[in-house]
Amino acid sequence: MPNAQPAVLALEDGSVYRGLAFGAAASIAGECVFNTSMTGYQEILTDPSYFGQIVTMTAVQIGNYGINATDTEAAAPKASGFVVRELSPVVSNWRSHQSLGDYLRQHGIPGISEVDTRAITKKLRVTGAMKCCLSTLPLSDAEAIARARGWRDMAGSDYVKDVTCHEPYLWASDDPARHNQPYLPVGTSMHATGAPAKKFRVAAFDYGAKFSIYRKLVQHGFEVQVFPATATHEQVREHHPDGVFLSNGPGDPAALPYIHRTVTALLPDFPVFGICLGHQMITHALGGTTFKLKFGHRGGNQPVKNLETGKVSITAQNHGFATDPASLEKSGAVVTEVNLNDGTVEGLRHRELPVFCVQYHPEAAPGPNDADPLFTDFYRLIERRKAGTI
């Protein structure tokens, strides 16, 4: 590419990768992780769960279909930096309005291309996720390594406070800017069904929620009242919700005791559905613990088996921590789903309370609709609770 500037990616173990800069002129430190999705770089960049992380894409060419305003999962990208093998020199898609490089430049996020992403991914798989520094400014190898080593660890960090909303608000189902109707190519239905006529009010905690989660809730018959992560159980009760939803989010789930207390207080009184970080909040609220995975699960090709039905789903995931099943033995929780790659916990339900959760992202739909029924399950759980059958 003409006028390309050099860039550097340095890992805390002293590894240095030199390539070409794109996006913003900046230096940033964070946790280096990899994502195995073939598509969806725009959704990955704008997923608040990536806050504090520098993402390496394993797909070879990135940026070929550009950026559009409809598919973003937050108002601005949340990942700290982006690492790709090749940045597509051409943007070709009828929905695109901006190139990936211009988008990152607009939001102050640096990127590096023309590096060996296979080598980076293998190193992270063998050694584990590492602290790193990505710079598109003049920076020596020694300086870049020092900045990588000086970054704070992901473990023990509360990043939810950096991505949650500041005040409660209603996710309006009739707001055209919310894009609440599912995108369907002309002439297809993708098995889409209309929302139920009867609506239930759900209190949705924003721990770093993706917009698609609220859209899915609307499409499945919910009126969505969003609450910041710091909201108390008393504030939630004032809105008289029919159910409670716990969203995804970044950082260490063990570092959020204020959320653990709130969820613990709500579990006995409401049907509760949690995903990703929300799943981990239910784990802690029930008295369980979580631990950091070696390199995490990040991608749209994660196989998950339901132990109660035998069904295997292909799921989208983005998390670096997991539930310790041994810690839940006396909690009343039942492990319902496991990851077929490493056997880690992917789903829970409570034996007595109307509470269930999954570690993956059902709204991301890589299957494309494998996990969609979970939203219907939540609706029916509230129906049964209001009918007095549970």
How many angstroms separate the most distant Cα atoms in the chain?
A: 68
Q: What is the 3-state secondary structure (H, E, C) of the chain?
A: CCCCCEEEEEECCCCEEEEEEEECCCEEEEEEEEECCCCCHHHHHHCHHHECEEEEECCCEECCCCECCCCCCCCCCCECEEECCEECCCCCCCCCCECHHHHHHHCCCEEEECCCHHHHHHHHHHHCCEEEEEECCCCCHHHHHHHHHHCCCCCCCCCHHHHCCCCCEEECCCCHHHCCCCCCCCCCCCCCCCCCCCCEEEEEEECCCCHHHHHHHHHCCEEEEEEECCCCHHHHHHCCCCEEEECCCCCCHHHCHHHHHHHHHHCCCCCEEEECHHHHHHHHHCCCCEEEEEEEEEEEEEEEEECCCCCEEEEEEEEEEEECHHHHCCCCEEEEEEECCCCCEEEEEECCCCEEEECCCCCCCCCCCCCCHHHHHHHHHHHHHHHCCC
240 part of the active site:
no
276 part of the active site:
yes
363 part of the active site:
yes
- At a CB cut-off of 8 Å and minimum separation 6, what does 138 contact? none
Indicate which residue of 233, 279, 297, 361 is catalytic.
361
What are phi and psi for residue 293, nearest 5 degrees? -75, 160
Indicate which residue of 31, 43, 73, 363 is catalytic.
363
How far is C-alpha 237 from the geometric centre of its chain's CA atoms?
27
The CA dihedral of 75, 79, 81, 87, to the nearest 10 degrees, is -70
Indicate which residue of 32, 133, 276, 357 is catalytic.
276
72-84 burial string, b = 16+ CB within 10 Å, else e?
bbbeebbbbbbbb
Count how many Cα atoms sit within 13 Å of the Cα of residue 182 in the half-sphere of its side chain. 23
Known catalytic residues are 276, 361, 363
